[in-house]
Amino acid sequence: MITNIIPTDGLNYDISRMKDVKLLMSPTDLKFLIRMLKIRNPKKILEIGVCNGGSSYYLLKESSPKSIVHSVDIETECPHDRTKMCGYTVEENLNREIWENRWIKHLGMDVIDCIDEIGGDIDFVLIDTVHTMPGEFLSYLAIIPYLKKGAVVVLHDVYDNYHEIINGKMLTTWNADSFCTGLLLSSVPSKKKYMPDDDVPNIGAFIQSGKEMDYVMDVLRALFVKWRYIPEEMMDKYSVMIREKYGEKASKFFDECLKMQYEIKNGKYLDFA
Ligand SMILES: C[S@@+](CC[C@H](N)C(=O)[O-])C[C@H]1O[C@@H](n2cnc3c(N)ncnc32)[C@H](O)[C@@H]1O
């Protein structure tokens, strides 16, 4: 249930540099992100999905100078400009004093590979990666045990499929399958969810209730929809993590889901579409 709608019109944050820093968000999305930061005033921030570094720029600029920001991207070179590293726009646009001793980049890896090093007590997260299944679901499952009760988790591009199609930007069928963060937002067992007051918002957030370990099956069940891709090189790590962190029942469920995804991929089931 979406319990809190945030009006973003009246928020007077300085977002004038969003184009310079090549942020991949709309003005409404950015105002919502900053509002969530101000509500929580976090000490330990985790960003998953960096690209140019536009969201890193605002997470660093708008949070307390005493906070630490960990930024994770599976790529080392920026997918939008391969001559530069992910996050380059922070170094190019933000005063060094603001980020120098509080920004830790984890590039060329998935969050499952660095979450132990990042450690617990995370109280603010932005997840903004592929948007197709199983994408952000896996990232979220990898970090739940490291989140503080009351942590804010912001998900971007929650209705990317809708927005890409309506705006006529849809180039491939990939975008039509771009509903992963929306499904995640719907399936998390949080009673406190937030969205901006757009007709069809493209960003949302929820608060960790602290009971996620008990309700992880709600999240796992949603994984049974057809995946857009199987990140094969990471699946063993995820299977082991699910067993270790969430127990035998969750592990059997996840492995069954994975088996089904491979069967679909290998054409075992007829496509009636
Ligand atoms: C939409 S962009 C991020 C945009 C950025 N948050 C912003 O608003 O400026 C998505 C990024 O996610 C990264 N990515 C894809 N899969 C990932 C994964 N499993 N873990 C971490 N990053 C991932 C891509 O390499 C890409 O740089």
**pLDDT tens string 48-106:** 999 999 999 999 999 999 999 999 999 999 999 999 999 999 999 999 999 999 999 99
Pocket lining for ligand 1, CB < 6 angstroms: 23-25, 48-52, 54-55, 72-75, 79, 86, 110-111, 128-130, 139
Q: pLDDT band at 164, cuts 50/70/90?
A: low
Q: What band does 212 get if pLDDT is binned at 50, 70 and 90?
A: confident
Percent of the chain beyond pLDDT 70? 94
Question: What are 53's two structure tokens?
Answer: 């570094």
Cβ proximity of 192 and 40 under 8 Å: no
pLDDT in tens, 2-44: 679 999 988 999 999 999 999 999 999 999 999 999 999 999 9
Pocket test for ligand 1, best of 129, 160, 241 (most atoms within 8 A of CB): 129
Tell me which CATH code domain 4-211 carries: 3.40.50.150
Protein residue whose Cα sits closest to atom 10 of ligand 1: 129
pLDDT of 159 reads 85
Q: Whose CA is nearest to atom 22 of ligand 1?
A: 73
Q: What spacing in Å lies between the alpha carbon of 272 and ligand 1's midpoint?
A: 33
Model confidence at 165, pLDDT cuts 50, 70, 90, reads low
Strand segments, DSSP code E, in the chain are: 4-6, 44-48, 68-73, 77-78, 81-85, 103-107, 122-127, 147-156, 193-196, 203-207
pLDDT computed for residue 246 by the predictor? 96
Enter the tokens of residue 61.
């600029």
Mean pLDDT of 181-193: 93
Residue 116 in 3-state DSSP? helix
For strands 122-127 and 44-48, give the pairing: parallel
Cα separation, 188 vs 206, in Å, equals: 8
- Give the atom of ligand 1 at the shortest distance from the alpha carbon of 23: 9
The type of residue at 228 is: R
pTM across the whole model: 0.95
Average pLDDT rounded to a whole number, residues 240-265: 96
Domain boundaries, the chain: 4-211
Binned at pLDDT 50, 70 and 90, residue 122 comes out as very high
